[in-house]
């Protein structure tokens, strides 16, 4: 084997070691970096003894190894960025879901929680019914709600419109719509109030907006 061939093998081997040392040195610290520097110096000396064509081949192999190492680092960085983006998206989705749940709870509270119970009686006075309404509707909208009920049924929870058949405090038409709240809609003022409040909120936005409509149209 010629002197040049032997040195060519040595350069190729040293280059491979150098490439490995470059990658390992990043993780291993100064010791590996020192080895890398010594190997690089040796490579430079041996490389100079090779013919130009062999030098180009060895240099190309070294650059390819460096490019591969950089590609590995780029892939790791891209994965890290993707993970951060995914975590941010998940957090945003969780916040949106939390806000949506809060809105549902607020709407439920505004409409009067159907689960809220009042003592069932065989009959109710107007004062008792108004007290129920004040508790279910809330002070901010109660007066508007009360104005509508005053005109629709004068707080008679058994009121029936002889022409249309509308029923109860808020004159639901047909009356059995109120069964969506509870099956005792015919005899329980609380059920009628809850249904009426939900209807006003859903259709007009609030009892006061429903009352504003009523004043113009004398119906709602």
C-alpha distance from residue 208 to each of 29, 138, 158, 188 (Å): 73, 12, 24, 24
- pLDDT (tens digit, 9 = 90+) per residue, 191-200? 999 999 999 9
pLDDT in tens, 94-127: 787 776 655 555 555 545 454 457 888 999 999 9
Q: How far apart are CA 181 and CA 212, in angstroms?
A: 25
Q: Where are the domains of the chain?
A: 3-99, 126-217
Angle at 118 (CA atoms; ends 208, 203), nearest 5 degrees: 25
Q: For residue 217, with 0-12 CB atoms within 10 Å meaning exposed, 13-18 middle and 19 or more buried, which class applies?
A: exposed
Instruction: Give pTM, 2 decimals.
Output: 0.49
Instruction: Tell which CATH classification among 3.30.450.40, 1.10.287.90, 3.20.20.70, 1.10.530.10 matches the domain 126-217.
Output: 1.10.530.10
**8-state DSSP, 180:** G
Q: What is the mean pLDDT of residues 38-62?
A: 63
């Amino acid at each position: 084997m010629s002197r040049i061939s032997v040195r060519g093998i040595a350069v190729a081997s040293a280059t491979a070691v150098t490439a490995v040392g470059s990658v390992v040195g990043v993780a291993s610290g100064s010791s590996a970096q020192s080895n890398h520097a010594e190997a690089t110096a040796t490579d430079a000396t041996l490389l100079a003894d090779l013919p130009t064509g062999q030098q180009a081949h060895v240099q190309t192999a070294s650059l390819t190894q460096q490019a591969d190492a950089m590609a590995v680092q780029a892939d790791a960085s891209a994965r890290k960025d993707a993970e951060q983006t995914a975590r941010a998206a998940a957090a945003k989705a969780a916040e949106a879901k939390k806000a949506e749940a809060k809105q549902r709870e607020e709407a439920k509270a505004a409409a009067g929680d159907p689960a809220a119970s009042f003592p069932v009686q065989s009959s109710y006075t107007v004062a008792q019914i108004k007290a129920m309404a004040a508790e279910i509707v809330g002070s901010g909208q109660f007066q508007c709600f009360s104005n509508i009920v005053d005109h629709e049924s004068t707080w008679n929870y058994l009121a029936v419109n002889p022409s249309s058949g509308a029923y109860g405090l808020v004159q639901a038409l047909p009356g059995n719509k109120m069964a969506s709240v509870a099956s005792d809609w015919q005899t329980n003022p609380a059920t009628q109030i809850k249904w009426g409040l939900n209807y006003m909120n859903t259709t007009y936005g609030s009892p006061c907006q429903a009352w504003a409509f009523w004043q113009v149209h004398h119906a709602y």
